[in-house]
Chain A
Amino acid sequence: MAEIVAVIASTHHPFYYRASTATGEDRPPFADEWVAKIERFRETLTRARPDVLVMVGSDHFHQLWLDNMPQFLVGKAPFYDANWYNEEREFGLPRMLLQGHEELSAHILRQGLDSGFDLAFSNELRIDHSVTCPIITLRPQADLPIVPIYTNIFAPPLSQPKRFVQLGKAIREIVAGWPSDQRVAIIGTGHLSLELGGPRQFGPHGPDPEFDRRAVEWIATGDLDGCLAEVTLDSLHSPGNATHGFMDFMLMMGVAGEGQKADHVDSLDLFHTMEAYFTWYPNGVPE
């Protein structure tokens, strides 16, 4: 069976690419510290020696739209073009081409459907920065095949937080049951407290540092019960109007497992939002 060699959860900050590549006067004062943290984070994936990456993210109204909005969608294509004109325009993100892994996509779709998740699929998916940001931070050579999984954290009505956790647990079991000798890393990105297009946006910190502190604690300790006891679709409006992206972290907590302490935990307090990085090694820390 396939081996899950790393489970990784992260924020996806679209400004990292520009900040980390800027030089001279254009380079922001926090760039060096940010790059150092990302390089340590990248090493946690590198040392796991993955062959294929399952990538959980959320389309930001790029390909998925309100006339036909799936809650959970799995890409099944041989290739994925990536990043969109408005991400190039606003964040300076590069165009990318990533290889797919259709066999693993088909396995996840079949087993997901058979275990009670009515997953949508796409055979031609142009992915956005929710997937390419972690490629840029964790695997910038972009040389591994991926299976993208999109969640709707953006366009209400949304699935409940517990459903994200259940799907994470199912993805873990499904990937572990894949008849293959491949080494798989499961990577997902979301947000801590975040406000977009509202009065609390672009402050000196994230809109709710206390939520961020507690969220990092929930994730780092695998405290699914504590997290699920407090987080609801309604409660997530309070830390910031885009904080429903935290449910992708909850999905990844489901992948990692109840009570599983992360082997790598780091964060960076930035303007606008806090960055946070977590890695679990299900089979122990690699040599």
Chain B
Amino acid sequence: MTKYLLDKFLYTVDRDPGLVERYRDDPRGTVEWWEQERANAVLNCHTGEASTWQRFDDAEREALAAHDYPKLFELGAHPFLTLTLFIAMFERDHGEPLSFQKEYAVRLAHFSLPYPDIAT
């Protein structure tokens, strides 16, 4: 399990307006590109220093590529990161205020306590 890398994807995409749109429009291509080009970047280094070992497992890669936020919850991605990014991508497609957020809750209704562990 590499929950940290899932969170790193959500975190780095959410803070970049261009990447938010790119992930919305081409999720599978964006995940593939990100894993290849960005997964190993050490975030406070700008000189090319990088890690060498970061990669998604198959379930994580597929959940991200499918925009499958219930699966991300199940895998222990940080729920705040997932929620914030998915609101940014999909709230605009819903007419009523908060209707995306409510639908999001309904799609997670099969989870009960204890929720999947989010510790990284």
- Chain A residues in contact with chain B, CB under 8 A? 60-62, 65-68, 84-86, 89-90, 154-157, 196-203, 237-238, 241-242, 271
Contact = CB atoms under 8 A, between A and B. Distances in A.
A178 B68 CA distance: 52
B113 A85 contact: no
A85 B15 contact: yes
B84 interface: yes
A58 to B, nearest CB: 11
B96 to A, nearest CB: 12
A86 B14 contact: yes
Q: What secondary structure prevails in chain B residues at the interface with A? A: helix
B113 to A, nearest CB: 6
A201 B7 contact: no
A154 B43 contact: no
A68 B120 contact: no
Interface of B: 4, 7-8, 11, 14-15, 17, 42-44, 73, 78-84, 87-88, 98, 101-102, 104-106, 108-111, 113-115, 118-120
Contacts of A84: 15
Contacts of B114: 237
Contact of B119 (A156, A197, A199, A242): A156
Nearest to A156: B119
B5 to A, nearest CB: 10
Contacts of B78: 61, 155, 197
Given A66-B7, A85-B15, A201-B83, 18 more contacts: A60-B80, A65-B11, A65-B43, A86-B84, A90-B84, A156-B119, A197-B78, A197-B79, A197-B82, A197-B83, A199-B105, A199-B109, A201-B104, A202-B101, A202-B102, A203-B105, A237-B113, A241-B115
| 6 closest A-B pairs by CB | A197-B79, A197-B83, A199-B108, A156-B119, A202-B101, A199-B109
B43 A200 contact: no
Nearest to A90: B87
Contact of B98 (A60, A200, A202): A202
A186 to B, nearest CB: 26
Given A66-B8, A90-B87, A238-B113, A196 B102 contact: no
B105 A198 contact: yes
A154 B81 CA distance: 11
Nearest to A62: B15
A241 B109 CA distance: 14
A22 to B, nearest CB: 11
